Chains A and B, each alone.
Chain A
Amino acid sequence: MAETEGVRRRDFINIAAVSAVGVAGVGIVVPLISQMSPSADVLAASSTEVDISAIKSGQAIKAIFRKQPVFVRNLTAKEIAEADAVNVSTLRDPQTLKERTKEGKENWLITMGVCTHLGCIPLGAGEGETKGEFGGYFCPCHGSTYDTAARIRKGPAPKNLEVPKYEFASDTVVKIG
């Protein structure tokens, strides 16, 4: 314990030892946290091709993308008119139907079938299911109601139903993902 000024040999050893333990600690914690993230097989780029030739105007189907449902809906002219008649600035998540569909294919509304509140599957795509007050989708879990452009109109959900990345491979096949 020499009474010398400045950094002593022992101070240096202390700081070096604590730093080494800190670095080792981070090195242990990072893998422990990272291992819980989605694994490679889950992340493996999956895309789904959906044949839409059999979906008549006013009908919808549920497809599967990344183990979650996708709604593919063929809107009627009336439903399109209803969606266009809404003043966008009054919406919680302002978007027009045009922004949510592809150019020239405004009748094809393709959205995730996952309520943006807590992830339930809204009703309205299946035969005979209620479409809710605004003619789109209705989530039975907490009462979120979507319109004919699948935009949130009422209830606790914060966002419109998500539009996944997709493209028309041909006039009758949609490639999602």
Chain B
Amino acid sequence: MSFPWAKEYQPASPLTKWVDERLPLPRLIYNALGAGYPVPRNLNYFWNFGILAGLCLVLQIVTGVVMAMHYAANTAVAFDTVEMTVRDVNWGWMMRYAHANGASAFFVVIYLHIFRGFYYGSYKAPREMVWLLGVVIFLLMMATAFMGYVLPWGQMSFWGAKVITGLFGAIPFVGEPLQQWLLGGFAPDNAALNRFFSLHYLLPFVIAGVVILHIWALHIPGSSNPTGVEVKTESDTVPFYPYFVAKDGWAVGLFAVLFSIMLFYFPNQLGHPDNYIPANPMSTPAHIVPEWYFWPFYAILRAFTSDFFFISAKLMGVMAMFGAILVWFFLPWLDKSPVRSSNYRPLYRKFFWFGLVPTMLVLFYCGGAPAAEPYVMLSQLAALYYFAHFLIVIPIVSAIEKPLPLPYSITESVLGNDEGAQLRPGHGATEAVHADAAVNPPLQGA
């Protein structure tokens, strides 16, 4: 579906006409990323992170396929093959560090993408499916990143694998057999390393598939925008090409500069020195921490230190950690406010900036800190607020809040102070609005 004023694909040559009649792939791309996709004219820079996430996925697949050409998934040689890639293979150092830092860049981009969704209410009707698929992509990314981190078979790889598979051991009754089934042994060893490699190669392509569904679901209602007011008339939109291709191009350029600085000047900044020690099943590193992008969830895992009735502290921690992400699946129905953008939600905005954001920062910091006071208590307080925010604050605030008046349209929000602008029925652009109101009835309350 698209808006009625979307430009139609016109094959320019006999060849493209011949292709279009047999496999309309150029038409699909034209309607998805070309002039055939009208986009709200007021998108800000937060709307660039989708394309950047796609770019990161491509970067990871390309560098990952290269890494796999030089890697051997065997505990005896895995560590050496990664070092050999870095030292002996032509440009191997660049491929390896681009892949390792690419994972971090991917998570930076995805966290900002999710932040955008939270702040601007992108998860609300009619875009729930876009959001749900996004959470699925995030879970797949976490699994892929975790298994990829195990492959170099350093100390952090080994002990990370042991701790994370140990999470499944917390499940009552089936936990221990399940853990042994996942590992193919009693502790991480050759069997585990091989299957992690196999799945680490597979999952990015699964992610790519879900990304296609994510974009497909997005293109049915079209992109959201910073006002949260739905598109009403043609003047609310501009074609994706050239306007947002250019704007995304600018973002890609900036990303490339920042990524190059990390890659070429601080390639090991985000890694752990312990992972340059080959895996030793007989010695645990003094301070096991996951990669930085798992810290908030790791802090929630560690926040549970005593039993809760009949549930062990270990199982509580595991359930809370997974629950912290699973609660996102329910967000579109927990937040009942019809107003999408936090810009028009004064009370919700306060809880967002002074509740959720500091909580995430505290969890992030505590997840990377040692398992000692005051970090444990801070994690506990932050975890408490985290769940309260989703399960109590959001439903209550969305029920009692009086939102600010919304602009009539995207055009009004952009050109509201412009004397010559045609804004609403009776003010100029009457025909266009009436013609369109039947197709796109306004969803907003205001």
Q: Give the interface of A toward B (CB within 8 A).
A: 33, 36-39, 42, 62, 64, 66-69, 92, 114, 116-121, 140-143, 155-158
Please report the C-alpha to C-alpha distance between residue A116 and residue B176 in the assembled complex, in whole angstroms.
11
| B280 and chain A: residue at smallest CB distance | A121
Query: Are B163 and A120 touching (Cβ within 8 A)?
Result: yes
Please report the C-alpha to C-alpha distance between residue A67 and residue B312 in the assembled complex, in whole angstroms.
27
| A39: contacting residue among B164, B165, B191, B372, CB under 8 A | B191
- Interface residues in B302-317 (C-beta closer than 8 Å to A): 302, 304-305, 307, 312-315, 317
B126 within 8 A of A: no
Contacts of A62 in B (CB 8 A): 282
Query: Are B287 and A140 touching (Cβ within 8 A)?
Result: yes
Given contacts A36-B184, A67-B186, A92-B307, contact A156 B313 (CB under 8 A): yes
Query: Are B314 and A158 touching (Cβ within 8 A)?
Result: yes
Query: Are B317 and A68 touching (Cβ within 8 A)?
Result: no
- Going nearest first, the 5 A-B pairs with the smallest beta carbon separation are A118-B166, A158-B312, A119-B166, A143-B371, A121-B284
Contacts of A142 in B (CB 8 A): 302, 371
Contacts of B195 in A (CB 8 A): 36
Contacts of B3 in A (CB 8 A): none
B159 within 8 A of A: yes
B236 within 8 A of A: no
- Interface residues in B277-312 (C-beta closer than 8 Å to A): 281-284, 286-288, 302, 304-305, 307, 312
Please report the C-alpha to C-alpha distance between residue A64 and residue B281 in the assembled complex, in whole angstroms.
10
For B159, B166, B284, B286, the residue with the greatest tally of chain A CB atoms inside 10 Å of its CB is: B284
| A158: contacting residue among B183, B184, B313, B376, CB under 8 A | B313
B189 within 8 A of A: yes
B336 within 8 A of A: no
A38-B191, A121-B283 known; 5 new pairs, CB 8 Å cut-off, are: A38-B181, A69-B281, A69-B282, A92-B307, A118-B164
Contacts of B180 in A (CB 8 A): 37-38
**Nearest CB on B from A36, distance (A):** 6
Q: What are 13 pairs between A and B in contact, CB < 8 Å?
A: A33-B181, A38-B180, A39-B191, A67-B185, A69-B282, A116-B314, A120-B163, A121-B282, A141-B163, A141-B288, A143-B371, A156-B317, A158-B312
Please report the C-alpha to C-alpha distance between residue A156 and residue B180 in the assembled complex, in whole angstroms.
21
**Nearest CB on B from A146, distance (A):** 14
Contacts of B219 in A (CB 8 A): none
| A37: contacting residue among B184, B284, B288, B312, CB under 8 A | B184
**Nearest CB on B from A35, distance (A):** 9
Please report the C-alpha to C-alpha distance between residue A43 and residue B313 in the assembled complex, in whole angstroms.
30
| B187: contacting residue among A33, A67, A143, A157, CB under 8 A | A67
- Interface residues in B161-215 (C-beta closer than 8 Å to A): 162-167, 169-170, 180-187, 189, 191, 195
Contacts of A33 in B (CB 8 A): 181
Contacts of A121 in B (CB 8 A): 282-284
Given contacts A141-B371, A158-B312, contact A119 B189 (CB under 8 A): no
**Nearest CB on B from A116, distance (A):** 8
| B162: contacting residue among A38, A116, A119, A143, CB under 8 A | A119
**Nearest CB on A from B171, distance (A):** 12
| B376: contacting residue among A36, A116, A143, CB under 8 A | A143
Query: Are A67 and B189 touching (Cβ within 8 A)?
Result: yes
Please report the C-alpha to C-alpha distance between residue A66 and residue B180 in the assembled complex, in whole angstroms.
13
| A120 and chain B: residue at smallest CB distance | B284
Query: Are B187 and A140 touching (Cβ within 8 A)?
Result: no
**Nearest CB on A from B32, distance (A):** 36
| B288 and chain A: residue at smallest CB distance | A141
Query: Are A156 and B166 touching (Cβ within 8 A)?
Result: no
**Nearest CB on A from B123, distance (A):** 32
